[in-house]
Structure 1
């Protein structure tokens, strides 16, 4: 049974019993994502790590390396 079929069955049962219908699938997805991000940041602060920018900083180091040899810096070629 798909999630849509399950939702329709639950909505049908709720209507028959006079109860409020359940929320549609995906109605609160972004709220859950925000809550997970907030929890991750909170746990990072408790552990004494920076709460934001860790992934971006790691990717920047991975792709650009040390500041002396950045990939986006112009390369001088001597012939």
Structure 2
């Protein structure tokens, strides 16, 4: 069953029971992404890791390692 079919079925059931309709598929996706980002930042602070800039720092280390190795070989 696709997401759209499930949404239509849930909407039909909600109309039959007189309850609120579910949100449309994809409506809260960005909110979920923001909540995940906030949770990861919170978790990093609790575990005493840097809360931001970790990806950029990891990429910088990766690039420096391979660019440094390339220069040493020549």
Tell me the TM-score normalized by structure 1: 0.76
> Deviation at 1:20?
1.4
Q: With CA pairs under 8 Å and 6+ residues apart, which has the higher RCO, 1 or 2?
A: 2
Q: How many residues align?
A: 69
Could you list the runs of 4 or more consecutive aligned residues of structure 1 that deviate by over 2 angstroms after TM superposition?
none
Q: What are structure 1's unaligned runs of at least 5 residues? A: 70-79
Bigger helix share: 2
Q: 1:56-67, aligned counterparts within 5 Å?
A: 56-65=56-65
> Deviation at 1:64?
3.2
CA RMSD of aligned residues (A): 2.0
Q: Secondary structure at the match of 1:8?
A: helix
Per-residue Cα deviation, 1:35-54 (whole angstroms, up to 9, x for no partner) = 11111111111111110001
For residues 52 and 62 of structure 2, the distance between their equivalents in structure 1, rounded to whole angstroms, comes to 17
Rg: which structure is higher? 1
